[in-house]
């Protein structure tokens, strides 16, 4: 699984059994949650100690404190994992269904080519009101549009010598 994740509830902040632990033990508990999320269902004490980068003796003391609060079991697994991490949290099935829907042609109605769709929205050029250079209406709003004046072509130089 790429980039796995797990639910961490806000009650962690106020849960007495968590908050009565030292910050070190809280961090170690979170690391065990991360290990479980990565698929490590059961860890031997030596593996858990290595994961937490502590000695085996330190881990045994940590494990005893976490077990006393009923946060992990004797196999170093989080006790309430299955209760808090739903199977529906996996997006794999949802993404597969979405991609399958995107492969199917969408339900678009196409107008047959022999159908007349002209709605008479053509605009007569005479009804357009000229604009000033700044984009507002010209002083004479009723005047007809005029073609821009063409610049005179430069006359060829005549050699008089």
DSSP assignment of 22-51 equals -HHHHHHHHHHHHHHHTT-----HHHHHHH
4 pLDDT band (50/70/90 cuts)?
A: confident
Using CA of residue 103, residue 98, residue 101, residue 87, what is the dihedral sign?
positive
Minimal CA–CA distance to 31: which of 15, 16, 46, 50?
50
CA distance 111 to 20: 70
Average pLDDT over every residue of 46-54:
92
DSSP 8-state code for residue 71: S
Higher pLDDT, 158 or 14: 14
114-147 pLDDT, tens per residue?
Answer: 656 566 565 555 555 555 566 555 555 555 556 6
Q: For the chain, how many helices (H) and strands (E)?
A: 6, 0
Share of the chain above pLDDT 70, in %: 63
Helix axes 23-37, 45-52, angle to 10 degrees: 110
Which pair of tokens denotes residue 25? 């033990």
pLDDT of 1 > 50? The answer is no
- pLDDT tens for residues 60-113? 999 999 999 999 999 888 887 777 776 665 677 788 888 888 887 666 666 666
pTM for the full predicted model: 0.52
Say which residues have a Cβ less than 8 Å from residue 46's Cβ, sequence separation at least 6: 56
SS3 131: strand
């Amino acid at each position: 699984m790429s980039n796995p994740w797990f639910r961490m509830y806000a009650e962690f902040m106020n849960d007495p059994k968590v908050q009565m632990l030292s910050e070190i033990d809280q961090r170690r508990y979170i690391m065990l949650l991360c290990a479980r999320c990565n698929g490590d269902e059961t860890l031997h004490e030596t593996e858990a100690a290595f994961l937490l980068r502590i000695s085996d003796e330190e881990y045994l003391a940590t494990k005893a404190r976490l077990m006393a609060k009923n946060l992990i079991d004797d196999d170093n697994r989080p006790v309430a994992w299955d209760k808090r991490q739903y199977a529906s949290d996996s997006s794999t099935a949802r993404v597969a269904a979405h991609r399958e829907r995107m492969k199917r042609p969408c339900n678009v109605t196409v107008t047959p080519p022999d159908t007349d769709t002209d709605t008479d929205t053509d605009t007569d050029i005479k009804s357009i009101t000229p604009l000033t250079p700044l984009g507002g209406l010209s002083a004479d709003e009723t005047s007809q549009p005029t073609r821009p004046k063409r610049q005179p072509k430069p006359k060829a130089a005549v050699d008089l010598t």
